[in-house]
Amino acid sequence: MSHHAPLTPEHLSRSIEDYLAERQTNVLPSGEQTKDGRQLSWCGDVLEYLTEGLAERFAARGITFSKSFPGPFRLMDEEQLAGGNHMRRFWTMAFDHGCPIARLCTYFFHRHDQVLLPRPPQVVAYPPDHPGPEASE
């Protein structure tokens, strides 16, 4: 993460996606194992692996999250997409030294019949006052 770039919601979401992409390079093509031999048995393991260490990396810059990144696993946020793919939305608030900077939505694309993710997670940042999923409950 660059220490000179302005800390905007967009910059934060790009920085998180860059981190996830960096971690993805350590997952073997099958999605079932990492280069260092760690076994991944379902798509949730892959997401956990991709996000491992993210909070610590961002904490070094004063960025924290209201919930563990990417946010709570909410079954009601799952949508079935074409071809057997599914997408879940995870929400969390990002803080810069305690001040809200962005509401983040992480789109997690997965399949129930394989470990390999059909596409990398996508992180979309909204202004901190953007209504989250709680607004529709």
- Kindly give the interhelix angle for 9-24 and 43-51, rounded to the nearest 10 degrees: 120
pLDDT tens for each residue of 71-129 = 876 656 788 888 889 999 999 999 999 999 999 999 999 998 999 999 999 999 999 98
What is the reported pTM?
0.86
pLDDT tens for each residue of 35-80 = 999 999 999 899 999 999 999 999 999 999 998 888 876 656 788 8
Which uninterrupted H or E stretch holds 10? helix 9-24
Which uninterrupted H or E stretch holds 85? strand 85-96
CB 9 within 8 A of CB 127: yes
